[in-house]
A and B are shown apart, each in its own frame.
Chain A
Amino acid sequence: MPLNSKIPAGEMAQKWINYKNTCKLVNPANKRSIEVIVIGTGLAGASAAASLGEMGYKVKAFCFQDSARRAHSIAAQGGINAAKNYQNDGDSTFRLFYDTIKGGDYRAREANVYRLAEVSANIIDQCVAQGVPFAREYGGLLSNRSFGGTQVQRTFYAAGQTGQQLLIGAYQALERQIALGNVTMYDRHEMLDIVKIDDKARGIIARDLVSGKLERHFGHAVLLCSGGYGNVFYLSTNAMGSNVTAAWKAHKKGAYFGNPCFTQIHPTCIPVSGDHQSKLTLMSESLRNDGRIWVPKKQNDTRKATDIPEEERDYYLERRYPAFGNLVPRDVASRAAKERCDAGYGVGSSRQAVYLDYAAAIERYGRIECNKQGNHNPQIDLVIKLGKEVVKEKYGNLFDMYEKITGENPYETPMRIYPAVHYTMGGIWVDYELMTTVPGLYALGEANFSDHGANRLGASALMQGLADGYFVIPYTIGNYLADEIRTKAIPTDHPEFVKAEKEVADRIARLMSIKGTESVESLHKRLGKIMWDKCGMARNAQGLREAISEIRALREEFWKNVRIPGSADGMNTELDKANRVADFMELGELMCMDALEREESCGGHFREESQTEDGEAKRNDEAFMYVAAWESKGNNQWEMHKEPLNYEIMHPTQRSYK
């Protein structure tokens, strides 16, 4: 099937306006008989479900946590971008568009990104109206901070808990619709398959995780808002439950998977401390605003950080990238940290860490506070004390978290950080309307591939999730559903429902019957290690080929030897995990295939064979300026389709942050 991205004709700045003016509408009476299923209640899902409920559709929302409010979006820390230009620093829709395309290393679709930038300002308005308590200045207006890969201040935030506050806003809007009866909530439910009837998505099979029962749900359309798949690496900053299952089932039922190998490794996370490690904790990118990153100039320096004098420190980001300094994009910062550690300059007991230092920022803020108080010749103790208070207000919860995890006080000694898997730019392929290659099946938020190309800029995932849910899908879904008003709700005893449920039941029975000797967790860890070593921060053809055969072997072992105690009739968290890990075992292979096929470096995808003389990622636009959209052919066979990327406005150049 040829890929049709359905990008509207016309000038870039007019496309979305024209689309909205001309797309089909569903009248209020018809909306009441149209049912929409929303998988996920993170920023994308909660905002979509609430908005569609408000519009009058009958919505069913699903999440696997015990409450919609606990979706992984809750953990986002640093902030959300919007082209408001409140700082009068030259920001505009165009600049946000430009930064996002460039940050994504010219592998994103222009029209989608332009629309994202366009609606970004509305998101902030909507959230403030809902009561999201963003940080404010003394005059009562909203405050902004800077984030990597940009030269303006356009990031709105609520201390280090921006995701929490945005999600609570969307969750409250969702709960209001639940109270009004427009949305029915299914918590502790896991979607385990898509039901297709006459080639259209018409429903899902879900497992009630408490009773263990399988359920059939009909919908005129299904929205996947199920988040990213970073947990294929086992260790990542994602929540423990984040998984690919919903997206993967859709993929196997015909939805193409876009750029699966595009993974974001975040530069500032708390390093691994031992084999027991279950997840990695992010230290928000906003910390790079004020913190300075360095390693000792001497290899294998074992002195305490505070004992290393200023002139013996290498602020390698400031040295290599004077224009952006500590605020280079994530992929660049992560690789630079790896380079220093691999070369023997790493710190901490594992030597796999660099310092993120707040001493200079504390002093700078302290002096500003003293000046505000009219004290122009303060004692250094006072400066430090006041400086710490400012830093505490901005980043207090992050510093506390660091201390709880490591037992070290980051106000006194620099933090140790190292890159970790954080976000997946790849995901289900969608067109301009966010529809997948299956009619009636949509993907929103991190689950889709659409806006971030090969690297996502900080504070842009929250923006995208809410843009998709509040401002894009309410229009685009109508364009499809307008032709569905005559479709009556399909009874769930339809043979396709029966068949899909049986497939799910069979797979669960098969998993339970293996009764092997190795735990799900242990097999997942082994998969993660293959992925991190061979499809992580640096990739090469040989490693990827090895990874593919290792994953195949591991997958076979999984299906022969996994041990799931208990039964499938009732709550069984090991079975839940096994269902998810089984899908990761297939996805991992596809990611390696995609990485192998893309013989260029771009954004977070670094092929060692393709680098510039000074070790920067080297794109190959002639050969690889496309989206790789993989079609599942069953039995772990895939066919790749290419969506060429045509740049109308941007002129792709070698990305430079020097």
Chain B
Amino acid sequence: MNLTLKVWRQQNAQAQGGFETYQVKDISSEMSFLEMFDVLNEQLINEGKEPITFDHDCREGICGACSMHINGQPHGPWHQTTTCQLHMRAYKDGDTIVVEPWRAKAFPVIKDLMVDRRAFDRIIQAGGYISVDTGNAQDANNLPVDKHKADESFAAAACIGCGACVAACKNSSAMLFLSAKVSHLALLPQGDVERKTRVVNMVEQMDKEGFGSCTNTQACEAECPKGISVQNIRRLNAEYIRSVFSGGE
């Protein structure tokens, strides 16, 4: 198939960006979306132009690096699918596809489609862990964990930190990402000790990073490639209230 691509180009964080239009030919429906970009980049290099910069690594939907806003949707049209797992079967000959970077104050553009998502790391630094040094663990089976709780915790821990939830949200809120981490740890007995301080500190950091507030439009859940549920946001709110009203410590 032949396609028209309108792609955001921006030389660096300071530069003004803008859309450029490209044509690609003979795209096979078996290609992934990023392989289609490989074809375009190869074409640009052959023409002596700079290829388009974008983040990607695993190309298996698990590292969370890829981050393209495709025709108005983070990660494009397929439900619960990252950009790298989106395949060209989704398109037909003659389509025009508009590709932009994540748009959020807390995720400044580095170049073209690549953004800086380190704000997520700093949110984790604020409390997204269990404080246990190496060598301090008891036998793993001394602590049975209810299977349903463990499964729920796993479902929240499946977040890949891609930032699509932020990109999808009209307020650029990071609530889904944050709540996934709070849930992962709050659902496990190991996470209980630091439960109160964790949520307060992480929320504080999120606010500092310039993410917007959550107005419950649930666009995040709809666009999350890992199916992280807004149920987690409810849990986060409950955790937060519990911790604030019991006086933090």
Contact = CB atoms under 8 A, between A and B. Distances in A.
Nearest to A180: B125
Interface string B190-212: 11000000000000000000000
A70 B190 CA distance: 24
Contact of B145 (A68, A69, A70, A136): A136
Interface in A115-171: 122, 124-131, 133-142, 158-159, 161, 163-165, 168, 171
Contacts of A300: none
Nearest to A565: B50
A583 B113 CA distance: 28
Given A54-B133, A131-B130, A140-B147, A70 B38 contact: no
A175 B132 CA distance: 12
B12 to A, nearest CB: 6
A375 interface: no
B121 A175 contact: yes
A144 to B, nearest CB: 11
A565 B45 contact: yes
B165 to A, nearest CB: 16
B56 A240 contact: yes
Contacts of A72: 57-58, 63
A128 B65 contact: no
Given A70-B63, A140-B146, A474 B134 contact: yes
Of A51, A135, A239, most B-chain CB atoms within 10 Å: A239
Contacts of A239: 57-59, 63
A370 to B, nearest CB: 21
B64 A69 contact: yes
B51 A573 contact: yes
Contacts of A187: 118, 121
Interface in B144-202: 144-147, 150-151, 153-154, 157-158, 160-161, 184-185, 188, 190-191
Contacts of A138: 147
A168 B160 CA distance: 9
Interface residues of B, number: 79
B65 A65 contact: yes
Contacts of B60: 75, 281-282, 401
Nearest to A71: B63
A72 B65 CA distance: 11
B31 interface: yes
B134 A470 contact: yes
Interface string A50-90: 11001000000000011111101011000000001010000
A571 interface: yes
A460 B59 CA distance: 23
A75 B87 contact: no
Contacts of A124: 140
A70 B150 contact: no
Interface stretch (A269-277, A481-489, A502-510, A608-616): A269-277
B28 A128 contact: no
Nearest to B114: A571
A161 B151 CA distance: 13
A299 B61 CA distance: 36
Contacts of B121: 67-69, 175, 178, 185, 187
B65 A66 contact: yes
B215 interface: no
A74 B128 contact: no
A654 interface: no
A276 B31 contact: yes
Contacts of A276: 28, 30-31, 35, 38-39
A401 B85 CA distance: 8
Nearest to B138: A125
A404 interface: yes
Interface string B106-126: 000011001011101100111
Interface in A257-299: 273-274, 276-279, 281-282
Interface in B36-74: 38-39, 42, 44-46, 48-51, 53, 55-65
Nearest to B155: A133
B136 interface: yes
A164 B53 CA distance: 25
B42 A521 contact: yes
Contacts of B136: 129
Given A65-B57, A163-B62, A570-B111, 18 more contacts: A72-B57, A72-B58, A74-B58, A136-B147, A140-B146, A158-B154, A179-B126, A187-B118, A240-B57, A240-B58, A241-B57, A276-B35, A276-B39, A404-B81, A474-B135, A519-B45, A565-B45, A566-B50
30 contacts: A70-B57, A70-B64, A74-B160, A75-B63, A122-B135, A125-B139, A125-B140, A126-B134, A128-B137, A131-B184, A133-B153, A172-B128, A172-B130, A175-B125, A176-B129, A178-B121, A187-B121, A239-B63, A240-B58, A274-B28, A274-B30, A276-B30, A279-B59, A282-B60, A404-B78, A405-B32, A405-B85, A470-B135, A566-B50, A570-B11
